[in-house]
Amino acid sequence: MLSILRYRQLRHELEKSIQFYSPEHNPGSDPFPQSRIVNESLRATGRPFESLDNDETNLAPLVTLQNGRTAYIPGVKVVCTDSLPGNEKSEIFVVGFNGENDQLNPKYWSLAYKWRTLGIVGMTGFLVGWASSIDSMVIKQAQEEFHVSDITESLATALYLIAFAFGSLVAAPFSETVGRNPVYLVTLSMFMIFIMASGLAPNIGSQFVFRFLAGLFGCTPLTTFGGSMSDIFHLLDRTYAFPICCSLSFLGPFLAPMVGAFIGQSSLVNWRWSEWTTVILAGLITVAIFLFVPETYAPVLLKWKADHLRSITGDSRFIAAIEFEQASISVRLMRSCSRPFKLFFGELMVALFTMYLVVVYIVLFGFLTGYDFIYGKTYGFSQGSVGLAFIGMNIGFLIAFAIIPHIYYKYKKALEALAKTANGHPEPEERLWYAMYGAPWLPISLFWMGWTSYPSIPYWSSLASSVAFGFAVQGIFISSYQYLIDTYEQYAASALVSATFFRYIAAGVMVVVSLPMYKNLGVHWSLTLLGCVSLVMTPVPYIFYKYGRSFRKRSKTAVHD
């Protein structure tokens, strides 16, 4: 709704801002002499079509329309198009933003408006994370109704996570074609339908199918949410915006077990309420996006502007950069599916940080079933109390906020020092501080929890270790994503899809594998095994902080000086 209103409002704003000038009505006068000089200078250069995306293309707001009238239109560039296929006109009018005060550009919205927008769409990450884990706490009740083993029932959660991986391969091209909002609204609506169907499933087979389909549509926030954040925040502001986004994504899957556990043990409601709570939450978030979130993807906003200018002026030469996209959606989908694997197998940085995140997610989702062994069987917690044990991990996620000011001012200082240099911004390795602070705590927390989980040792010790674990996970995730974004820039989306694909495949497998692992190895050796694996990966952020620049110079796709 808000996007529709913004589209209509934009037309009224453009009608007010355009100034028409007809020589026959104003003989002997030229109200825009400076703009006319710029215009004629640009035409004299014979600038080709290929210069469309070149920053050297001069701003030329004075244009001569097809009806002979001259108009002053802020934010328009005149580009010579003699080489443009299928177009015989000598020039086109490329539509852009009107400077730094243009409120059409999301990067110049007020801070309150930005945070309202980000807060609402950020809840989509919370939502799909919530849905990924709430079922794990009602496995006992579901298996009894469907007459299957606990391992078989855990496949409902595993298939949802695996579907995330495959859905992430195709989600991004759609949001970069039609905009962020349509993708949010359509996919969340489908997500609700399949979660509802899962809640109504009469047998285990239909539950598997509907959970998998819910995961395919639920993956959208994993790719689109980050794009929304990039749409509205500048480079420096992302230093504090991104950790907040991550917290929402992590709090969802580890607050949900607390609710799911009490649903499972309740005599008042059926275990299927684990799905109904998700449907209710999804409905509220979808309605909030429809009513209060405007479109944020800049190329689509400029396409709106070009549409209005063509309608207002009657001149078809107004065009947005996104309309020059030659590749079809099918071609971009093929590229989106293949490039992440090329980067994973061809780029050391993508491979190592992806594997690091895989390790983190193996441990993280292994806890969904492992906590019942740790606290249920070792300490005799009730089902609801096992869910409450996840509070420690959530506190750890939030503690990562404590170092945001330190990281922010550290990055700001580096940015100001390099602002006037050729590079213009800090090297990607500056994004690794979160991981360097958090990485050692991952193996420490796992060994700590593994070897203090005895009935003779108070459970407060293992709960304290889960706080350290949450802090480590948050720091590693923040740095890994920000480092890949800054390192690969135009290929960042593919690098992130690679990390998303492999970590959710691993998470899905781990949900099923963790049950026999804890049964056969026990809590102590299971956590020791996970701790040893994480210990091997601990040096990764330190190695790249010191040698990342050298690795980037050898890369064909990474940015380097």
Confidence of residue 525 (pLDDT cuts 50, 70, 90): very high
Mean pLDDT, range 107-127, rounded to an integer: 91
**In the predicted structure, residue 89 carries a pLDDT above the cut 70:** no
Distance, CA of 461 to CA of 375 (rounded, Å): 12
Helices (H), 109-148: 111-133, 139-146
Confidence of residue 14 (pLDDT cuts 50, 70, 90): confident
The tokens for 139 are: 């496995």
DSSP letter for 295, please.
Answer: -
Structure confidence at residue 56 (pLDDT) = 37
- Tokens 């794990």 correspond to what residue? 136
**In the predicted structure, residue 228 carries a pLDDT above the cut 50:** yes
Mean pLDDT, range 447-452, rounded to an integer: 94
Give the number of other CB atoms < 10 A from CB of residue 534.
Answer: 26
**In the predicted structure, residue 66 carries a pLDDT above the cut 50:** yes
Distance, CA of 227 to CA of 296 (rounded, Å): 9
Q: What is the mean pLDDT of the chain?
A: 84
- Domains of the chain as residue ranges with CATH: 2-95+300-323 (no CATH), 109-294 (1.20.1250.20), 327-404+420-548 (1.20.1250.20)
Mean pLDDT, range 415-424, rounded to an integer: 73
Phi and psi at 422, nearest 5°, equal: -65, -35
Q: What is the pLDDT of residues 280-313, one digit of tens each?
A: 999 999 999 999 999 998 889 999 999 998 888 8
Secondary structure (3-state) at 508: helix
Confidence of residue 40 (pLDDT cuts 50, 70, 90): very low
Mean pLDDT, range 310-319, rounded to an integer: 86
Q: Give me the percent of the chain exceeding a pLDDT of 70.
A: 89
Poorest-confidence range of 11-20, 434-443, 519-528?
A: 11-20
Contact (Cβ atoms closer than 8 angstroms) between residue 75 and residue 97: yes
- Strongest mean pLDDT among 206-210, 224-228, 249-253: 206-210
Distance, CA of 266 to CA of 272 (rounded, Å): 11
**In the predicted structure, residue 21 carries a pLDDT above the cut 70:** no
pTM of the model: 0.86
Secondary structure (3-state) at 24: coil
Helices (H), 134-203: 139-146, 150-175, 180-199
Mean pLDDT, range 97-102, rounded to an integer: 81
Structure confidence at residue 22 (pLDDT) = 57
Poorest-confidence range of 202-211, 260-269, 312-321?
A: 312-321
Helices (H), 347-458: 348-371, 383-388, 391-399, 404-418, 433-438, 441-450
Q: What DSSP element (H or E) covers 43?
A: helix 33-45
Starting from the edge strand earliest in sequence, which strands make up the sheet with 70-72, in order?
19-21, 70-72, 62-64
